[in-house]
Amino acid sequence: MSAPEIRPAIEADLAAITGIYEHAVRHGTATFELTPPDLAEMTRRFKALTDGEFPYFVAALDGRVIGYAYAGPYRPRPAYRFTVENSVYLEPAIHRRGIGLQLLRRLITECEARGYRQMIAVIGDSANAGSIGVHTKCGFQMIGTHPNVGFKFGRWLDTVMMQLALGDGATTVPAP
């Protein structure tokens, strides 16, 4: 397999992104959504993030989008403005090939360049070893588990919380 291109996402990528996420919603526990959003909703979400100047990337292989990653606000209150939450999704056939790791590393680098100081991963399902492993490889620390907070596919699911300091982290006061 050739190396994927990691690049900023554009609106033309959203049909592929919507398909990748639809599969994750219908078949996986990484997301706790139960009904896949349509292209119009995914477009609205994309614009909200990019209009807010949050980074959003795709991995493309031979011109075809095979995965995506973005950072968004961790929480809406202003005191959280230096903290982002990340998301990474891949086509099922592309899992375990290092592409999620490449996307996450690019996202981390971009968030640091934009002055963010903390990145939070909210990982659906404590059995999601792939996602936990990728975040661990990028230096995230386990900060806790919320047991049995989601109910999907007839069973209770945990959320795993991981955190990574970006740049100076909390060692200095951020620029206004």
Residue range 146-154: mean pLDDT, rounded: 98
Give the confidence band of 1 by pLDDT, cuts at 50, 70, 90. Answer: low
pTM: 0.95
**Spacing of C-alpha 63 from chain mean position:** 21
Q: Which CATH architecture fits 5-165?
A: 3-Layer(aba) Sandwich (3.40)
Q: What local confidence, expressed as pLDDT, does residue 95 receive?
A: 72
Burial of 90 (0-12, 13-18, 19+ CB in 10 A): buried
Q: How far apart are CA 27 and CA 97, in angstroms?
A: 20
| Residues β-bridged to residue 42 | none
Extents of the domains making up the chain: 5-165
Q: How far apart are CA 65 and CA 16, in angstroms?
A: 6
pLDDT digits (tens, 9 = 90+) for 81-127: 999 999 999 999 887 788 999 999 999 999 999 999 999 999 999 99
| Residues β-bridged to residue 6 | 59
